[in-house]
Amino acid sequence: MRCAAKVTRRFVSKNVVGRITIGVLSLQGAFREHVEAFAALGCATTLVKLPEQLANVDAIVLPGGESTTQEKLLDSSGLREPLVAAINAGLPTLATCAGLILLAASVLDGRADQRPLAVLDIDIRRNGYGRQNDSFEAPLTIDEIGAAAFPGVFIRAPKIERTGSVVVMATHDGVPVLVRDGPVWGATFHPELARDNRIHEKFLMQCS
Ligand code: GLN
């Protein structure tokens, strides 16, 4: 029985990776690491910097980096509106760290002019772990990807301080660190730096 489940899982994953292309927003930040994680899974990616490049992707990744810079570049590139429309229309989205700040309903310690995309029902604090604890690693329990702990890499991580209509997939010290609303996934840590591709793989399995 266990064997059968494993075979099915591999089949689904292999079937999906061969026919989809993941767009990776590459305005700023740690986008190359996501490209490498998907490449390791055999999945094609394409960099997205312009609105027209959104048209041919089956999913989008919003990487870590600097949310304020990324937000400005979303506006100057004209990507903000089409990206919001695509996500609201059901485009699978994997957002990590700064990328998750972009998706939030509200950024609690945002700059006065910060205007997140408001496509995920969470409120977030940009520098939620403060200076002393701004980078750390912690093993995370994520039932959906299996029993083995996932190495959570937190770098100037934001802290989710309110969750609305999202599913909490993992917590650290009682605080949500991985959430999803259907096909829209957000992590306050960096799965692309973990040398463990189970989150990317699981995300892929719901793309078609
Ligand atoms: N705190 C950063 C910000 O506000 C995010 C840090 C990260 O992406 N590693 O954008």
The residue among 139 and 15 whose pLDDT is bigger is 139
Q: What is the pTM of this model?
A: 0.92
Three-class secondary structure of residue 22 per DSSP: strand
CB 40 within 8 A of CB 193: no
Q: Decide if 190 is catalytic.
A: yes
Per-residue model confidence (pLDDT) at position 11: 45
Per residue in 112-142, pLDDT tens?
Answer: 999 999 999 999 999 999 877 789 999 999 9
What number is the average pLDDT over the span 139-160?
97
Q: What is the C-alpha separation between 146 and 123, in angstroms, rounded?
A: 28
What are the tens digits of pLDDT across the range 168-198? 999 999 999 999 999 999 999 999 999 999 9
Domain edges within the chain: 2-204
Q: Judge contact between 145 and 161, C-beta under 8 A.
A: no
Is residue 172 part of the annotated active site? The answer reads: no
CATH architecture classification, 2-204:
3-Layer(aba) Sandwich (3.40)
Ligand 1 site, residue 80, Cβ cutoff 6 A: no
Predicted confidence (pLDDT) per residue in 34-72, tens digit: 999 999 999 999 999 999 999 999 999 999 999 999 999
Q: Is the CB of 193 under 6 A from ligand 1?
A: no
113: left (phi > 0), else alpha (psi -120 to 50), else beta? alpha
Phi, psi of 122 (to 5 degrees): -140, 155
Whether pLDDT at 151 is above 70: yes
